[in-house]
Amino acid sequence: MHVDIRQKFEGSAGAIAHLDALLASEAQVLKDRQTHRLTRQLDGGNVAALVFVAFVGG
């Protein structure tokens, strides 16, 4: 898709540069979001409460 849009701006180097910068920015946002998801830690208090409720209610 990026390649298709980029081809439409062949005559404008400035537009291509902005489009490439936008793609790089969006890729970085996605990378940061995925890294955050992979490095999240569980809250011990929430886990303890869940286990307690499971034993008491179940």
Q: Give mean pLDDT, residues 3-10.
A: 86
Q: Is the pLDDT of residue 1 over 90?
A: no
DSSP 6-44: HHHTTT-HHHHHHHHHHHHHHHHHHHHHHHHHHT----H
User: Where do the domains of the chain lie?
Assistant: 2-57
Kindly report, residue by residue over 14-43, the tens digit of the pLDDT. Answer: 999 999 999 999 999 999 999 888 887 888
Q: What is the pLDDT of residue 42?
A: 82
pTM over 0.75: no
